[in-house]
Structure 1
Amino acid sequence: MKLRLLLPLIVCGTLLGRLAGQAEPDQPPSGLNGRIEGDTYVSPTGVFKMKIPVLPELGGEVTDTPNVATFYDDINLHISVGAFALARDQKWEFETRGIKDYLTYFFGNFIMPDFKTRFPGAEVETASFLPKFQEGALHLCVLLPGGSSFMRMAGLRSDEAPVVAKRGFICFVKNSHFFVISTELAERVLERSTYKNTPEQEEVILRHRLQDLIGKITFLNPPETPK
């Protein structure tokens, strides 16, 4: 089922720019906000943990903020996992709108405007609702002119037009948190002239990669806030 997204022309000051794979905000002196236990990353808010999907021997690194963890390497991986606690007003929106409309509303109001500001010409190419995945999830493919995390590796000349990157997103609500998981279709940039996949094939590839990634995340009940 395809959705038409209404994307408000407002810019929200959020941490979601991390999902674009560009400039990283300052890290605290201790490094990560979360922690690493063996080969597992644990989020600083305690709402999820996952096996780190990149390898140090391939240049794999982990960075994070209190809400977004980013995993990337020197080959072809750039993955972001965001978890945002729903404030009282957002819980009301969720309960009032229902899952499908709420996911569309949240992405359109709090995520896409940030991309539009960072990458002029950014647009949602496709959006589909997955009613049986994570009790209702929104899958999107977003085009980002000049927004690839692999520009340096692509070896573009300064006089060449910016590459239009494509990122896939899956969004859902779990344990009173809005989760957004994202990855870039790296081969679209790295293979360039030899790349032949159609938009329909790209959508399937990104959806399968994201669903496989989400299947490896352990979702935890957030710790109670002391009264």
Structure 2
Amino acid sequence: MTKYDKVFNSPKTSEESLSPEEAVAAIATVTAIADSMIEDVDAESLAGILWEFEVFEEYSEDEIAEIVDRLLAIAEEEGIGPLFNAAKVSLSEELVLDGFAAGVIVLLDDELAIAKPKQAYLKKLQAALDLEDEEAEEIIKEVIAAFKEAEEEEYADDDDDETVVIEDFSEQTYQSPLGNFTVPIPVDPQQGGRIQSQEGVVGFSDDIGTLLRIDYYPFPLEQLEELESVGQEEYLQTILVDKYVPQAIFANVPDASVEYTEYLENTLRGAYYVLIDMPKGSTISKQENNGTAIRLDAYRGLLTFISGEFLYIVSSQHSFLDGETPDSLEEEAEDIKESILEFVETIEFN
């Protein structure tokens, strides 16, 4: 009996019916469980991975999370073999490659490679889905290439941003296109000061490590009911920690982690603050001897609050130059929080 017989050689099939899209999610779920315990699987991270798939573009995050929870429950009650068999039966011909890609993504390590111990599982998954070697290799290459491309993008300022290099500060303030705020420009063109903007975002940065960014979203009235139901602290925490950080930071800096959180009840009528440790996640880089550029380590602070008819997320970073040692976590959290609050004080909300 081989290691993965429980997955690929089970005679049983789950009695639960799956849609073709759920079958893709089931393959990802089985792959996540194959070398671990069900209770060790991070359902939220798994749902986040699936949310990036085009096949789930019509699904909300909550719907995908519900699917993952249901699949984990099936695996716990019936076993991963019956779940895989149900997935294989339910997987449409058009989604076979997506199913294999879902398994590949789950197996990728931090170096965007598939560790040797995991390659045996992937070979068996390939065989179970009746894929030729060339097809499987092409999918693996495409998945890795997509992740590398995402890592190379500026998470705040991708190529679609409208980037303006500031050369003249005759206009001393920046005004939001929606007219909801104005703010004095906080960077100096002589230090490489620049503005990156796109719909709902403006970032101010320079060559010496400054990063001040404002994300802003119209606050729909229907959200008031949810806010009042769960309370402002929990609502802001959910927006920042459960939604914004995974999409804007974790998706681009895999090793990033939330290290500090704080609810500021008496600030801005209630605000939620987090500090993120971002190894090799700074927006500035250092040049290696071989000519390659490597991003510096950084701490990123984010503060979210509601003002008028908009929800804001204001952020700042501290990048660590060669030889620079971070202060204690508490000191870094406090220093970056104060820098954000000082910046927020300069913003005039309309």
Fold match, TM over 0.5?
A: yes
Q: CA deviation at 1:121?
A: 2.0
Among candidates 137, 152, 169, match of residue 271 of structure 2: 137
- Is residue 25 from structure 1 mapped to residue 160 from structure 2 by the alignment? yes
CA deviations 1:31-82 (Å, max 9, x no partner) are 69xxx98210000111111000001111111121120101011112111011
Instruction: Provide closer, same or farther for how the CA distance between residues 79 and 157 of structure 1 changes in structure 2, counting only shifts above 3 A.
Output: farther
Structure 1 counterpart of 2:250: 116
> What are the equivalent positions in structure 2 for 1:118-197 lying under 5 Å apart?
118-152=252-286, 155-156=287-288, 163-186=296-319, 189-190=320-321, 192-197=322-327
Instruction: Provide closer, same or farther for how the CA distance between residues 103 and 132 of structure 1 changes in structure 2, counting only shifts above 3 A.
Output: same
SS at match of 1:193: coil
Give the Cα–Cα distance (whole angstroms) in 2 for the partners of residues 172 and 180 of structure 1: 7
Give the Cα–Cα distance (whole angstroms) in 2 for the partners of residues 180 and 96 of structure 1: 22
Question: What are the ranges of 5 or more consecutive residues in structure 1 without an aligned counterpart?
Answer: 1-5, 221-227
Higher helix share: 2
> What are the equivalent positions in structure 2 for 1:198-213 lying under 5 Å apart?
198-213=328-343
Please tell me whether the aligned partners of residues 215 and 314 of structure 2 are also in contact (alpha carbons under 8 angstroms).
Answer: yes
Higher strand share: 1
RCO higher in 1 or 2 (8 Å CA, sep ≥ 6)? Answer: 1
- Is residue 217 from structure 1 mapped to residue 347 from structure 2 by the alignment? yes
Give the aligned residue type for 2:273: H
Give the aligned residue type for 1:51: P
Please tell me whether the aligned partners of residues 171 and 179 of structure 1 are also in contact (alpha carbons under 8 angstroms).
Answer: yes
CA deviations 1:161-217 (Å, max 9, x no partner) are 86432101111111121100001112xx22x32424111110111011011000000
Give the Cα–Cα distance (whole angstroms) in 1 for the partners of residues 252 and 172 of structure 2: 33
Question: What are the ranges of 5 or more consecutive residues in structure 2 without an aligned counterpart?
Answer: 1-41, 53-150
Instruction: Provide closer, same or farther for how the CA distance between residues 160 and 102 of structure 1 changes in structure 2, counting only shifts above 3 A.
Output: same
CA deviations 1:130-172 (Å, max 9, x no partner) are 11110111111012232111113xx345699864321011111
TM-score (norm 2): 0.52
SS at match of 2:233: helix
Give the Cα–Cα distance (whole angstroms) in 2 for the partners of residues 148 and 157 of structure 1: 19
Give the aligned residue type for 1:60: G
SS at match of 1:92: helix
Give the structure with higher Rg (CA).
2
Q: CA deviation at 1:19?
A: 8.7
- Is residue 44 from structure 1 mapped to residue 170 from structure 2 by the alignment? no
